[in-house]
A = this chain, B = another copy of it.
Amino acid sequence: MSTPLRLGIAGLGTVGAGVIKIVRKQASLLQHRCGREITISAVSARSRDKDRGVNISAYAWEDDPVALATRDDVDVFVELMGGSDGPAKAATEAALAAGKHVVTANKAMLATHGQLLAGLAEQTGCALRYEAAVAGGIPVVKSLGEGLAGNEITRVMGVMNGSCNYILTRMESAGLTYEEVFDEANALGFLEADPELDVGGIDAAHKLAILSALAFGTRVDFDGVEIEGIGRVKIEDIRHAADMGYRIKLLGVAQMTGRGLEQRMAPCLVPALSPIGQLEGGTNMVVIEGSDVGQIVLRGAGAGEGPTASAVMGDVCDIARGLRLPVFGQPAETLATAPRTQSATPAPYYLRMALHDKPGALAKIATVLGEAGISINRMRQYGHADDEAPVLIVTHKTTRAALNQALEAMEGTGVVTAAPVALRIESV
């Protein structure tokens, strides 16, 4: 155990730079904790000369991440490039095929190719670790896959995209529109190069799909996640929610039901005073419910140099200490293919719509809901604008299927001016 563990780092953005800083400043601490030195042999990135606040001249340089991943002096390939395919996947496959361990922060790659990569890692006896891919610095992969391994996991929930949570909380606190806060967040560099990955819920859905596999022993099924972004949430939704004691959060929920695996990532109403409801800004929270442990709540920074590099280093330390686990908690070939079920669990829903200002319009909506077997908890028309009557409805518990039927029938009535906004009210 006294040989150093040698890293090859591909991708030198903020997280890569953060990892290099930790390896340097905590060298003696890491050696104490791991029983061996952690060193960096080589690095790779798009540009060699960019100033990253760390001096990389002591490390060998590779233009090609595949070459980096397979170097003789690399024991662990640290993949921080991102992207589900392309160089990240090619280099990860090459590393595993060459018997190198891999630590990655790449949620898109794992959500898309997790099954393939897990199989490859397990064939060659390598570790493939990804704590940094989910909820930044929060040790959720470790808690779920190891600490709670004695539990049958019943539900996993989480607010796992800090940018969306920033936008939603800032809309409420500053009274700004979605578009205003979006532009602000974009200018501050809070959003991905393709902002739709954030606000469209895709990034968070990648994370949820990874947690689902780990929680339920199922094959990663990103395509099975029902995804809805936050783009349709208006400041008035946030205000109505607040009036009723709720906050709107982009919440991921994965749960195993009698009918199959339900995975959804969508803006939801949650009680304002619940731990999730109180989450401000870029902080992430993951809630895990298990057969014996009950509910465990984990909270921390979901992104950023330090927290994400901390998660990468946790994985590196595990590898240095000799930990070898199946990638998704059990051998990849034993992961089950769960049937998909879409929001089958009943819940109350929040509906906001605008009706053409004609007699009987409201009655038609009420009738349509009744015909779909949905009973109304509260219904309120609030003012008038341009011949439109805005209406807010909160239903009693119903299924998404019944709701979809009602929403479709509403369109047929000709009284709604546009597709209603429908948000699930989640009990958390």
Binding site for B on A (CB under 8 A): 18, 22, 26, 29-30, 32-35, 131, 137-139, 142-143, 146-152, 217, 275, 278, 290-301, 304-307, 309-314, 316-318, 321-326, 329-331, 334
Given contacts A293-B137, A294-B301, A296-B138, whether A309 and B150 have CB atoms under 8 Å apart is yes
Q: Which residue of B lies closest to A329 (CB)?
A: B33
Q: Which residue of B lies closest to A131 (CB)?
A: B147
A142 adjacent to B138 (CB under 8 Å): no
Question: Which among B150, B294, B300, B310 is the interface contact of A314 at CB below 8 angstroms?
Answer: B150
Given contacts A32-B330, A296-B298, whether A322 and B321 have CB atoms under 8 Å apart is no
B137 adjacent to A294 (CB under 8 Å): yes
B293 adjacent to A307 (CB under 8 Å): yes
Main secondary structure of the interface of A (DSSP, over half): mixed
A32 adjacent to B334 (CB under 8 Å): yes
For A311, A314, A318, which residue has the most chain B Cβ atoms within 10 angstroms? A314
CB distance from A105 to the nearest CB of B (A): 13
A313 adjacent to B150 (CB under 8 Å): yes
B313 adjacent to A149 (CB under 8 Å): yes
A306 adjacent to B323 (CB under 8 Å): no
CB distance from A9 to the nearest CB of B (A): 14
Question: 19 pairs across A/B with beta carbons < 8 Å?
Answer: A22-B292, A29-B217, A32-B217, A33-B326, A33-B329, A34-B149, A35-B330, A139-B146, A139-B296, A142-B142, A146-B146, A146-B317, A147-B314, A150-B316, A293-B300, A293-B301, A296-B300, A321-B325, A323-B323
Given contacts A137-B294, A309-B292, whether A146 and B300 have CB atoms under 8 Å apart is no
B294 adjacent to A306 (CB under 8 Å): yes
A293-B300, A294-B307 known; 10 new pairs, CB 8 Å cut-off, are: A32-B217, A33-B217, A142-B142, A146-B317, A148-B310, A292-B305, A292-B309, A292-B310, A295-B301, A298-B298
Q: Which residue of B lies closest to A304 (CB)?
A: B294
B150 adjacent to A317 (CB under 8 Å): yes
B143 adjacent to A143 (CB under 8 Å): yes
Q: What 6 A-B pairs are tightest by C-beta distance, nearest first? A: A150-B313, A139-B147, A292-B306, A293-B310, A137-B293, A149-B317
